[in-house]
Amino acid sequence: MKLSRTTLNLWRKAAQLAICALAFAPLFAATAFAQTAKTPEPAATPTTPHADFQYSTVTGTTNTVNVTRVPSVNAEGTISYWDISVVFDSDATTGEPAVDSSTVKASPKLYVNNFKQGTYIAPSTYFAGSGLIALTGPGVTNGGATEWSVATASGANACTAPGSATFYVGPIASNPLYSRLKAAGITSTAYSYGLDGGDTCDGDWWLGGGILGFAQTGNALTIVSFSFAGTDYPTAGATVTYTLK
């Protein structure tokens, strides 16, 4: 059978298209895979484990150096705290110190009892709201207890009470004032206890050396006095509640 020129041309074009399709098929397939394949996430950069001694507290006795709350960071970025104690011996002739022993243990959990550092203002009924105090802390003491300080803030009324104070947060039995608290019959665990730092003109409940109790609820800081004119009592006799500005 004799094919017409038109039919031959159509077959020729069809063959050319088929050859092109076969030639570019791998490229089309690769392109489609590239568009649908998920790009892998880059691997997270690991943290190099290290300790930050510059943020610790160093104290010393005759032959021992204590390094408290040394922060260390593991490969996942988690921070832990450690207490380190290094005991030294001295050379019998030269006195040159040499390490005798050392211990490393996890730091105890800090007691903060919701206290927040900052500036607090008295209620409007107390010196027309011009009573201003600044609470600073925490400082770390033995066993995870913390130490806080109170001082009058800039612009405070001269009779703001307490004018200054230091108190400790932690188990009542570990408070430096425990023997005095016990003698006075003060047993409530609702407060953290400390001492009034100086006399003010706000009466005999706010004299230097008196026992003070501190409690924080949200942004409210309540301060109570257990001492009147130098005598301690088992219950509080004066109270003022400040609010965080």
Q: What residue type is 11 in one-letter code?
A: W
Whether 89 maps to a domain, the answer reads yes
Please give the average per-residue pLDDT across 199-206, as a whole number.
Answer: 84
Average pLDDT score over the chain:
83
Top mean-pLDDT range of 7-11, 24-28, 60-64, 231-235:
231-235
Identify whether residues 98 and 209 lie together within a single domain: no
Higher pLDDT, 18 or 171: 171
Whether 164 maps to a domain, the answer reads yes
Whether 208 maps to a domain, the answer reads yes
- In this structure, what are the phi and psi dihedrals at residue 15, rounded to the nearest 5 degrees? -65, -40
Residues 105-150: tens digit of each pLDDT: 988 888 888 999 999 999 887 777 788 999 999 988 878 899 999 9
pTM, two decimal places: 0.66
Whether 23 maps to a domain, the answer reads no
C-beta atoms surrounding 130 within 10 Å: 15
How far lies 54's CA from each of 50, 51, 72, 176, 213, in Å? 12, 9, 11, 28, 33
Residue 243 CB contacts under 8 Å (≥ 6 apart), including other chains: 120, 121, 123, 219, 220, 221
Identify whether residues 167 and 60 lie together within a single domain: no
Domain that holds residue 89: 50-106
Identify whether residues 76 and 157 lie together within a single domain: no
Identify whether residues 163 and 183 lie together within a single domain: yes
Count: domains in the chain: 2
Whether 80 maps to a domain, the answer reads yes
Band of the pLDDT at 59, cuts 50, 70, 90? confident
Whether 177 maps to a domain, the answer reads yes
